[in-house]
Amino acid sequence: MGLLIRNGRIITASDDYVADVYAEGETITRIEPSIDPGSLPPGVETIDARGKYVFPGFIDPHVHIHLPFMGTNAIDDHASASRAALAGGTTSVIEMICPGPTDEPMDAFAEWKSRAEAGAAVDYSFHMSVVRFDESAQAQFRRIVEQEGIPSFKVFLAYKGALDLGDEDLFGALSLARKLGVIVTAHCENAEAIDAMQRRLLAEGKTGPEWHEPSRPISVEADGVHHLATMAELTGAHIYTVHTSCEPAVRAAVDARLRGVNIWIEAVLPHLVLDKSAAERPDFEGAKYVMSPPLREKRHQDVLWAGLSGRTISTIGTDHAPFNFNGQKDMGRDAFTKIPNGIPSIQERPALVYTYGVRTGRIDQHTFVDACSTQAARLFGMYPRKGDIRVGADADLVVWDPDFEGKISKETSLSAVDYNAFEGWFVHGRASVVTVRGQIQARDGAFVGTEGRGRMIPREPTHF
């Protein structure tokens, strides 16, 4: 059955115009000033988007759904995470595969993929984490890139003894990535420094969630970006700094770019709208806001928004990592180092960026689309199939109601997590209709689609 969206104001990363969009067979086949419904086959579903915007489906380039972490596992599955994503307007996600240091990469890939196939209602792909780099692992990484269509790695310069990669292996992973045309996404901190700081603070009796940020200050993150960029400069690898949270880290990336390093910067929603005072809330409430890198002083938000406005920062993700407050986050009541990291936000990202970015004048609507959709598609080998509204693209579309006013709450969240980090926050604008490859999957904050309909997105290496 075809889908016709009429009278909407189409806004992409570069264009702004009023037109009708027609999709048939999962792709956009016509974009015209006016399409006569009588010229279309019987049974076409028609949506009147008069007074509304039509955006390309949003892409979240950084999510955790199946995530073993600190002896527990993230509480969402792909069905609940998809429902939440779609309710907010996100139609594609890239999930981090995070195996342990003794796991086989191919086994991890197969596990993550099978879980997504079972329940995802959004389209999806993966970043393959490199947590070991022996000869066997290297052969598996080649297969994952060349045969499975996963041309992006993830490396950690944090989590000593669990996920961190030593310099010899980091150099090797970046060298392999350069040969394969893979972009390397990276969590940039300093695992050794963090470990030392955590031990000191705990020895001093500083155990609450408010001490999480002091254990991994901005200097540690900036050092991690500089270190990664040095390795990329030596190897020629293309790199992408995930969840970049503060001015020194952004400056380190920009300095590297000026030296000729192929580096892109990601911001995530929590760092744009929350500050470190959230993690300092009393009675252990701050544990809800523990993530890494941590929430920072409010002044860093201005740097991130300015970086987005000037396109120095390319993308906005979430680092969605949903752990329940009761039964998971509270494992760290006696030591902040045992609090599972993550601030769930896969549903809230588009509305909060629109409300506190676009409507405040910090970014324009083209930047909103570019940072929340198009740049992720371009960087990770999905463009122009994803991230744009054009004939031949997948019919991933968001009809956006700019006049909607409401409040965020746990009651309206479709994630399985037992709290909402943005409880009571005001939003102005939301996704009214959301389609994935021409099928309506969400309406006005409710999931109305088909679980398991999501498909893995085939991607080609482009970063040679």
Tens digits of pLDDT across the chain (464 residues): 899 999 999 999 999 999 999 999 899 999 999 999 989 999 999 999 999 999 999 999 999 999 998 789 999 999 999 999 999 999 999 999 999 999 999 999 999 999 999 999 999 999 999 999 999 999 999 999 999 999 999 999 988 878 888 999 999 999 999 999 999 999 999 999 999 999 999 999 999 999 999 999 999 999 999 999 999 999 999 999 999 999 999 999 999 999 999 999 999 999 999 999 999 999 999 999 999 999 999 999 999 999 999 999 999 999 999 999 999 999 999 999 999 999 999 999 999 999 999 999 999 999 999 999 999 999 999 999 999 999 999 999 999 999 999 999 999 999 999 999 999 999 999 999 999 999 999 999 999 999 999 999 999 999 99
Q: State whether CATH 1.10.10.1400 applies to domain 57-379.
A: no
Fold of 3-55+390-404+411-447: Urease, subunit C; domain 1 (2.30.40)
E strands of 64-182, at which residues?
68-69, 72-73, 90-97, 123-129, 152-156
Phi, then psi, of 22 in degrees rounded to 5:
-120, 135
Phi, then psi, of 202 in degrees rounded to 5:
-65, -40
Q: Give the pair of three-digit tokens for residue 323.
A: 């752990």
- The β-bridge partners of 52 are none
C-alpha R_g of the chain: 21
Phi, then psi, of 183 in degrees rounded to 5:
-90, 140
Instruction: Answer yes or no: same fold for 3-55+390-404+411-447 and 57-379.
Output: no
- The β-bridge partners of 233 are none
In whole angstroms, what is the distance from residue 436 CA to residue 372 CA? 16
Residue at 380: amino acid letter = F
Contact predicate 33/20, CB 8 Å: yes
Alpha helices in 310-413 (DSSP H): 349-353, 365-369, 375-379
In whole angstroms, what is the distance from residue 275 CA to residue 141 CA? 37
Residue at 216: amino acid letter = R
Give me the residue spans of the domains in the chain: 3-55+390-404+411-447, 57-379
Q: Is the pTM of this model over 0.85?
A: yes
